[in-house]
């Protein structure tokens, strides 16, 4: 049973962590884009 939990656990945690990482990256990319726009317009 432990093995079962380990397998699903590792998968779930890894994929969730990766999703969070990507969402954060997207946020960062969007922020730096709008910042660039501001400095160019300013």
Binding site for other proteins (CB under 8 A): 1, 3-4, 6-8, 10-11, 14-15, 18-19, 22-23, 25-26, 29-30, 32-33, 36-37, 40
Could you tell me the smallest distance in angstroms from the CB atom of residue 36 to other proteins? 6
Q: What sections of 1-42 are H helices per DSSP?
A: 2-41
Could you tell me the smallest distance in angstroms from the CB atom of residue 4 to other proteins? 5
Could you tell me the smallest distance in angstroms from the CB atom of residue 7 to other proteins? 4
Cα radius of gyration rounded to whole Å, the chain? 18
Distance in angstroms between the alpha carbons of the first and the last residue of the chain: 61
| Nearest-angstrom CA–CA distance, 23 and 40 | 26
């Amino acid at each position: 049973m432990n093995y079962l939990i380990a397998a699903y656990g590792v998968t779930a945690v890894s994929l969730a962590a990766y999703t969070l990482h990507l969402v954060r990256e997207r946020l960062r990319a969007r922020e730096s884009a709008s910042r660039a726009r501001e400095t160019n317009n300013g």
